[in-house]
Amino acid sequence: MHSTSSSLKKYRVTPRQKMINLMYIVLMAMLALNVSPDVLNAFSLVERSLNRSTSNSTKQNDALYSNFDEQMKANPAKVKEWYDKAIAVKRMSDSLFNYAQELKVAIVKEADGADGDINNIQNRDDLEAANQVMLAPSRGQGKKLYSSIVSFRERILKYVSDPVERNIINSNFNTDVPSEKKQMGKNWIEYMFESTPVVAATVLLTKLQNDVRYAEGQVLHTLVKNIDLKDVRVNELNAYVVPNAQTIVQGGKFSARIIMAAVDTTQQPVIYIGNREVSLKNGLYEVLCHSTGDFTLDGHIEMTDASGSIVKRAFQQKYSVVAPSATVSADLMNVLYAGYNNPVSVSVPGVPSNKIIATMTGGTLQPVGPGKYIARPTAVGANAEITISSQTDAGMQKMGTYVFRVRKLPDPTAFIAYADEKGNPTKYIGGRGFSKSDLLATNGIGAAIDDGLLNIDFKVISFETVFFDNMGNAIPEVSNSDKFTERQKEIFRRLSRGRRFYITRVNAVGPDGTTRVLPQALEVIVR
C-alpha cells in the first residue's frame, strides 16, 4: 500500500484539496479498522461467482455467434443484415469489456506493484489504488469509463425494443448518483471509486463486465428471432431461462424471461411450468418471494417447426431467496454473560439461513429461529468463539470466527415496586422521598438489572431493614424472604414524615444460579 506522503507528492494539488485528502485518509483509516479479513474474503467470493456467471454468458454468446456464422454461409442474402448487427454488437461489447479488464489490472498493479496479479491480490484493503487509477488528475480513467458506459448504454438500447429488457439493461448501466450522495457533492466516479478498497473496486468492474455480456446476449437473442426458423437446424434449438437476478431479497420479486433461441416470430411457444401450461405476456414469468431458501423453476417449452413437427425443450433455473440482512453480530455488543441466555444473530451476505452453520467453543449455542441463536458460555474470564460456516458450490466454507469476552452478570439493583398515581408499575430505588401510603401498600422488595441493555430479574431470598431510634441506636429487622415481615410493617406505621431507614444485606439469586449480597443499601426517606 502506498504511503500517504508519497501519494500527496505524486500529483500537484491545492492546499484545500490536500486538507480534503487528509480528512478522507483519516476517515478511511478509521473505517479500515472495522473491515475484517472475512469481509474482504466475502468480496473474493462475489468476484468468483460473477466470473463464473460471466463465463457462462460468454459461452452462450459465442454459440450464437457461431450460429450466425453458419447461417451466413448458408444464406448470406437473408442473414447479412442481422449478421452485420451482431458483429457491431460484439465489437462494442468487447471494447467496454476489455477496457474494464484493463482498469482492473491497473488498479491491482497500483496496489501490488508491477507484478500484481488480479487473481491473487495482496493488498486487498488498499484504499488509495482506485483513487490513483480512476480519480488522479491528468491520468485518471474515471471520466473515460463514465463516457464509455453512457455510450455503450445508448448504442446497445437501439437494438432492444422490448420495454422490460430495456428497463433491465438501462438499470444495469445506470450512472445516476443516489440522492444522499448528491447532497455530499459527489459525482458518479467519486461515488463508485473514491477511497474504495482494491478488492471492492475490482468487483465493481467485474460486475460491469457481467452486465456487458448479459446485454450482449439479450441483443443477440433479439437478432436471432429475426431469422426464419427454417434456416436453423432443429437440433440446435435450446430453451433458456434468463433471470433478472438469481439471489432475491425476501419480499422482492423474482423475474425471468423464458425463451427459445431462433424461434419463429409468427408463432408463440407453449410454456409449461411443472406440468401446467401457463400464459405469459412476452414470456415474462414473475412470482413474489415470501420465504427464504433455495428454489428451482423448471418446465418445458413446446412449439411447431417449419416442417410441422413439435419441438420440445426442457428448462431449469435455480435461484435463492435471502433475508434482507448482511451482518454477523451479537445482540449484546461483543460481550457474553456466563450462565445467561445471550441472544445472538447470524447472517452471511447472499447466503440463505438454512445454509449457515454456527458453532461455539467455551459454551453451548442453540438455534432458536432463522439466523437466531442462544449462546450460553460457561466460564467467566475465558473468551468464547463463535465460528460461522456456509455451504457453497465448493463445499462447506468457513466465513469467519468471532471472539466474545465472557463476563459475570453485573450486580442487580434493589428496589421497592409500587404503583404511581396513574396506576403504572414503578420502582423506587431511593434518592427521593417515598410516600408512607405507598410504603404501607407494598409487600416487599425486588432486584433486577435494568440498564437499558439488559433487563434481568433476580430473586431476593433475604434482606435486612435498619431503623434508628431517637437516641440514634440502630434497630435491625431481618426478613428471610422477599416480603416485609409483620414486625417491619409495624415499624413502618410508626414512622413520621422525614424519618428514614435502610434496606441492606440483600441476598439475591440470578439466572446464572449464583447467590450474591448486594453491596449498596437502599435508603428510604418517608414523606
In the predicted model, is pLDDT for residue 95 greater than 90?
A: yes
Tens of pLDDT, residues 136-154: 888 889 899 999 999 999 9
In the predicted model, is pLDDT for residue 517 greater than 90?
A: yes
In the predicted model, is pLDDT for residue 83 greater than 50?
A: yes
**What does the pLDDT read at residue 32?**
46
Tens of pLDDT, residues 189-248: 888 888 888 888 888 898 899 999 999 999 998 888 776 543 434 445 666 666 655 555
To the question of pTM greater than 0.95 for the whole model, the response is no
Q: Which of 472, 470, 460, 473 is nearest to 522 (CA)?
A: 460
Please give the order of strands across the beta sheet that includes 384-392: 335-337, 395-407, 384-392, 356-361
Q: Which residues contact 107 (CB under 8 A, 6 or more apart)?
A: 129, 130, 133, 134, 198, 201, 202, 205
| DSSP-assigned states of every residue in 340-362 | S-EEEEE-BTTB-GGGEEEEEES
**What does the pLDDT read at residue 450?**
82
**What does the pLDDT read at residue 478?**
95
Domain ranges in the chain? 1-227, 228-324, 328-407, 413-526
**What does the pLDDT read at residue 524?**
94
CATH class of 228-324: mainly beta
**What does the pLDDT read at residue 11?**
35
Rounded Cα distance between 487 and 506, Å, is 18
Rounded Cα distance between 130 and 414, Å, is 58
Domains 228-324 and 328-407 share a fold: yes
For 328-407, CATH number out of 3.30.110, 2.60.120, 2.60.40, 3.40.50 equals: 2.60.40
Confidence category of residue 78, pLDDT binned at 50, 70, 90: confident
Tens of pLDDT, residues 265-315: 556 788 898 888 988 887 788 888 777 777 888 889 887 765 456 778 888
In contact, 156 and 169? CB cutoff 8 Å: yes
The CA-CA-CA angle for residues 140, 143, 147, to 5°, reads 145
Three-state SS at 174? coil
